[in-house]
Amino acid sequence: MLTHVLYVKETGTKNFAIVDAAMNDLLRPSLYQAHHDILPVRQVPNAPDTVFDVVGPVCESGDFLAQGRTMPEVKAGDLLAVMSAGAYGFTMASNYNSRPRVSEILVKGGEHFVIRDRETFDDLVRGERIPGFLEAKA
| Residues annotated as catalytic (active site), given as ranges | 59
Helix (H), strand (E) at residue 55: strand 49-55
Contacts of 80 (CB under 8 A, 6+ apart): 2, 3, 4, 5, 17, 19, 38, 39, 40, 41, 54, 74
Q: For the chain, first and last CA: distance in Å?
A: 47
**Percentages (nearest 5) of helix, strand, coil residues in the chain:** 15, 35, 50
d(CA 56, CA 17): 8
DSSP string, 11-41: -SS-EEEEES--TTT--HHHHH-----EEES
